[in-house]
Amino acid sequence: KDPAARNAAGPALVLITPSPVGVNDFLKLAVQGIEDSAKKHNGTQKVFQSTDPASIQQNLSAAVREKPAVAVAVGFNFADAIAAEAERNPEQKFLFVDSCTTKPFPNVTCAVFREHEGSYLAGAEAGLLSKTGKVGAVVVLDAPQFHRYSIPFGQGAAKAKPGTTLAPLFIGGANPFNDPARAKALAGTLAGQGVDQVMGAASAAGNLGVFEAAKQGGFFAFGVDANQCPASPGQVVDNVVKRTNVVIGDGVDAILGGKTGETKSYGVKERGISLTGLEPDAPTSQCVVASHPDVLAKVGELRDQIISGAIVVDDPAKS
């Protein structure tokens, strides 16, 4: 049916996502990564989108039935399902991005991120830019995975300007991953408490609510996963970028090259995590931080210290 599928001689790749790709920047980058990889190796690619735990499992087994060269899964929700499938299908190679199985498998390659390093740097920017000495975060759920966006953010801010405090709020409710109105209300609540720099780790839709609150409340926000500055120019300071596409490309290359079963961690040093403002295209990013070279310079120093190991950012998810 798909003409590319029949003609291509190279490897077949399947990407399974934990939720619909849509406007989710993290997943969009993943799709981009698998497409780039397929092109590079002259192979084919398919994307299976899941909506809930049941469909994650179904899609993963459907992917295995297709016997692709690599089955790529992004998102922490896959841990159990990949472990089960990897055990059942020792011949199948998996690339697991963003998390890893508790038990290592020879046919599962993991790639994990150290988002906390990026949040720390973003926090430093916030600390430097804050006039009130209060920074905040609107986070989808009160869970360690998501604390990576709040706690280091506060630590970075305090590091850059001692005395800066952090106020995190969590969305929760009936639909935490898709409730922009609530995200906005929470961001507004923070602003009411004097917070003027807010990290938005509120899901794709939720962050838009945070940005909107920023626009109305006259405060600043930070985005995650990709460059979200164009969504609300003048309000978004910077973003913690997760370069999933690069990571997927690396991982597929490694697996096709015969190296499997490793776990690789991507942080600032590996350039898996970065800030939009620290990237070469910062001037065209529409990010607020681009017009604060002094801030960028200081944050650049901090980044170098992280790379050199002089600063170690604690991972809140490993308590």
Residues from 204 through 233 that contact other proteins (CB under 8 A): 204-205, 208-209, 212, 216-217, 230-233
CB closer to other proteins out of 114 and 243: 114
DSSP secondary structure, 167-220, as one string:
EEEE--SS-GGG-HHHHHHHHHHHHHTT--EEEEESHHHHHHHHHHHHHHHT-E
Q: Do 151 and 118 touch, CB atoms closer than 8 A?
A: no
* Least distance CB 36 / other proteins (angstroms): 20
Which H or E run includes 125? helix 115-129
Task: Tell which one of 26, 48, 96, 266 touches other proteins (CB under 8 A).
Answer: 48
* Least distance CB 253 / other proteins (angstroms): 26
Binding string, residues 8-47; x marks residues near other proteins by CB under 8 A: -----------xxxxxx---------------------x-
For residue 114, which of 298, 238, 242, 25 has the smallest C-alpha distance?
Answer: 242
Of 152-160, 170-178, 262-270, 296-304, which part binds other proteins (CB under 8 A)?
170-178
* Least distance CB 90 / other proteins (angstroms): 18
Task: Tell which one of 42, 175, 284, 291 touches other proteins (CB under 8 A).
Answer: 175
Task: Tell which one of 178, 271, 298, 300 touches other proteins (CB under 8 A).
Answer: 178
Determine the 3-state secondary structure of 128 from DSSP. helix
For the segment 79-108, give every residue that binds other proteins (CB under 8 A). 79-81, 84, 99, 102
What is the layout of strands, in order, in the sheet containing 94-97?
A: 44-49, 12-17, 70-74, 94-97, 108-113, 263-266
Tell me the C-alpha distance between 168 and 42, whole Å: 46
- State how beta strands 134-139 and 94-97 pair: unpaired
* Least distance CB 275 / other proteins (angstroms): 21
Token pair listed for 211: 């940005």
Task: Tell which one of 33, 188, 200, 223 touches other proteins (CB under 8 A).
Answer: 188
CB closer to other proteins out of 51 and 263: 51
Kindly determine how many residues on this chain lie close enough to bind other proteins according to the rule CB under 8 A.
71
Burial environment of residue 180 by CB neighbours within 10 A (0 to 12, 13 to 18, 19 or more) = buried
Of 5-13, 177-185, 243-251, 296-304, which part binds other proteins (CB under 8 A)?
177-185
Task: Tell which one of 90, 104, 106, 144 touches other proteins (CB under 8 A).
Answer: 144
For the segment 54-73, give every residue that binds other proteins (CB under 8 A). 54-55, 57-59, 61-62, 65
Task: Tell which one of 3, 131, 174, 310 touches other proteins (CB under 8 A).
Answer: 174
Token pair listed for 92: 């199948």
Does residue 292 touch other proteins according to CB under 8 A?
no
CB closer to other proteins out of 142 and 279: 142
* Least distance CB 164 / other proteins (angstroms): 16
Tell me the C-alpha distance between 297 and 289, whole Å: 11
For the segment 232-271, give every residue that binds other proteins (CB under 8 A). 232-233
What is the layout of strands, in order, in the sheet containing 134-139?
A: 165-170, 134-139, 197-201, 220-225, 236-242, 273-275
Which residue type does 274 have?
S
- State how beta strands 273-275 and 236-242 pair: antiparallel
